[in-house]
Amino acid sequence: MAIRTEISTLGEFALIDRLTEKIQLKNASSIKGIGDDAAVILPESGHQTLLTTDLLLEGIHFDLMYVPFKHLGYKSAVVNFSDIYAMNGYPKQLTVSLGISQRFSVEDLEAFYDGLQLACDEHGVDIVGGDTSVSLTGLTISISCMGIAQPDKIAYRNGAKEKDLICVSGDFGAAYLGLQLLEREKRIFDGDSGFKPDFSGKEYLLERQLKPQARRDVIDMLAEKGIVPSAMIDVSDGLSSELLHICKQSKVGCRVYEEHIPIDYQAIAMAEEFNLNPVTAALNGGEDYELLFTVSLALHEQIALMKGIRMIGYITNAASGACMITRDGTETELLAQGWNSLSD
C-alpha cells in the first residue's frame, strides 16, 4: 500500500517547506524566490516583461480519475510557458497557488510539484513563489508566469497583413481525441471495476493530452533565422478559434486549406473510430499548444525549410471573411467552435 501522509499533520508552512525544499533558482534575474513576502526579480536590460496567468479547476479543466498528479503539474506549467512563447518571448519565473482539500495527501502534492519542477527544468524557469489554501470544491490551481522579450521581437495578435502566410507548428486534433479516448475508458471503468483499458497504438494521443509540449524550439528556430512573426498565438482553444482571434485583432480575413492542416495518423484513426471528422477535431478540439503565426510572403522559402512547420493558408482582406477551402475546392466559413470554459 502506498504511503499516505495527511496534509493536516503538517500544517500550511510545513507543507510549503516540504513541497519547495528542492527548488533552486537558475536565472540571474531571479534575485529572491520562495521564503519572503514577495519574490524579487531583476529586469533584464533591453527586454520587456511578459506576464500570463492560468486558472485550472478540477472537474472543469482536468479529471483526477485519469490525470496523474505529476502529469497535472507538468501540464499546469507548460500551458503558461506556451502563452509566453506565443508572444515570441521566453518564460523565466513562475508562481503557483493551490486550493486543496483533505482528500489529497502530501504525496499527491509532492507528485504535482515533481511535474511542475520537471517542466520548469526543461524550459529554464524558476519557481519563485505561490500560496496554498483550503478548498471546498476540489483542487484549484492558479499559475502565473513571467517572461521576457526584446521590444522589437514581441509578436502580437494584431500584426497580420494581407498576403501574409499562415503557418503552424506540429499537428492538431490529437489532444482532443486523447481526451475522448480517456473519457470513453472512464465510462466503461465506472460500470466494470475489473476493466483494464488498452491504450496500445494510441500512446501519442494520450501524450498530447496528458503531457503537452510548449514549443520553445519553434521560437529558437525563428530567432536563428531572424524571423519575427507579424502575428502569433498559441492553439489552446482550437485552431479555428485562434485563427479568428488573429483575424479579429488584425482586422483581416483568411483562407486556409483543408489538405494542408497537419493531422497525425493516430488522430485520424481515432476520429474514424469515434465517427468524427478528423478535420473538425483538428479545427475545434483545442489543447494542442502548437504555435499559429503569420509571416510575410517574402519569407516563403525560409519557412518551407523549417522542420515541423507547415504553411496552411494566407491572410486576405477583412471583407473576404475567414474561410477554409475544402479538398473539393468549396469555401466554408470558419466558426469558433472550440473550447469555451464559460459554456454550459
Give me the mean pLDDT over the 65-79 stretch.
97
C-alpha distances in Å from residue 202, one per residue of 16, 73, 88, 211:
37, 22, 32, 14
pLDDT of residue 17: 81
For 139-185, write each residue's pLDDT tens digit.
999 999 999 999 999 999 999 999 999 999 999 999 999 999 999 88
Q: Tell me, what's the pLDDT at 2?
A: 67
**CA angle, residues 66, 71, 73, in degrees to nearest 5:** 120
**pLDDT band, residue 342 (cuts 50/70/90):** very low
pLDDT in tens, 260-286: 999 999 999 999 999 999 999 999 999
Query: Does 246 have pLDDT greater than 60?
Result: yes
Q: Name every residue whose Cβ is closer than 8 Å to that of residue 29 and which is 6 or more positions away in sequence.
A: 41, 42, 43, 44, 92, 93, 148
Which strand ranges, in their side-by-side order, compose the sheet holding 140-149? 48-57, 140-149, 90-100, 126-134
Confidence of residue 344 (pLDDT cuts 50, 70, 90): very low
* Cβ proximity of 67 and 183 under 8 Å: no
Q: Distance (Å, rounded) from C-alpha 146 to C-alpha 41?
A: 10
Domains of the chain as residue ranges with CATH:
11-152 (3.30.1330.10), 165-333 (3.90.650.10)
Give the pLDDT band of residue 299 (cuts 50, 70, 90).
Answer: very high
Q: What is the mean pLDDT of residues 72-83?
A: 98
pLDDT digits (tens, 9 = 90+) for 196-219: 777 889 999 999 999 999 999 999
Residue 195 scores a pLDDT above 70:
no
Least confident of 48-52, 58-62, 154-158: 58-62
